Structures are given as structure tokens and as C-alpha cells.
């Protein structure tokens, strides 16, 4: 099973999420809001704009995405971080 990266920034993750149709809709303070409508209804996630995301935060973001996209977390990790 692919492991979560331990050194990914919030900004880098936001760019990688474009693979799944997420677009930055706003930035407030140190948080980035992304939205998609790929499944026919809107979904929003908020990512902290930090140099390095905590693994628990990244895990929760991927779990939330997996619930929306009906994909396993493992599949999301492999798609997002295949270039590592």
C-alpha cells in the first residue's frame, strides 16, 4: 500500500487535486478552499496553506474525497503521488 507523503505542502496538494476536478474557489487567511461538481453535486474541501501538512490532516482530506468520489483512499494516494 502506498504511504502518505510526510512533506507535502497545502499549496502543492491543492495543485495535485486538479486531477480530480477540484479548483481553488477562495483563499482566506492560511486556508485554501477547493470545490468540485464532478459527481453532479458540489463538494468542498478546505486545506491549510502550511509548508507541511500533518499526516492526520492529509488522511482526513483524502478520506473526505474518497467518500465523495466513491474511491478508496489507496487509489487516491496512488493517483496523486505517483510521481514520488
Closest CA to 32 of 4, 59, 61, 56: 61
**Model pLDDT for residues 36-81, shown as the tens digit of each residue:** 999 999 999 999 999 999 999 999 999 999 999 999 999 999 998 8
Residue 84 pLDDT level (bands cut at 50, 70, 90): low
Query: Based on the number of CB atoms within 10 Å of its own CB, is 77 exposed (0-12), middle (13-18) or buried (19 or more)?
Result: buried
User: Which pLDDT score is estimated for 11?
Assistant: 94
pTM, full prediction? 0.87
- Classified by CATH at the fold level, domain 10-80 comes out as Metal Transport, Frataxin; Chain A (3.30.920)
Amino acid at each position: 500500500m502506498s504511504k502518505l507523503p510526510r512533506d507535502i505542502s497545502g499549496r502543492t496538494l491543492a495543485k495535485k487535486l486538479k486531477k480530480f476536478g477540484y479548483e481553488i474557489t477562495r483563499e482566506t487567511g492560511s486556508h485554501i478552499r477547493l470545490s468540485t461538481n464532478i459527481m453532479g453535486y458540489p463538494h468542498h474541501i478546505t486545506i491549510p496553506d502550511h509548508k507541511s501538512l500533518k499526516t492526520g490532516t492529509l488522511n482526513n482530506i483524502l478520506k473526505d474525497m474518497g467518500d465523495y468520489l466513491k474511491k478508496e483512499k489507496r487509489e487516491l494516494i496512488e493517483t496523486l503521488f505517483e510521481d514520488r
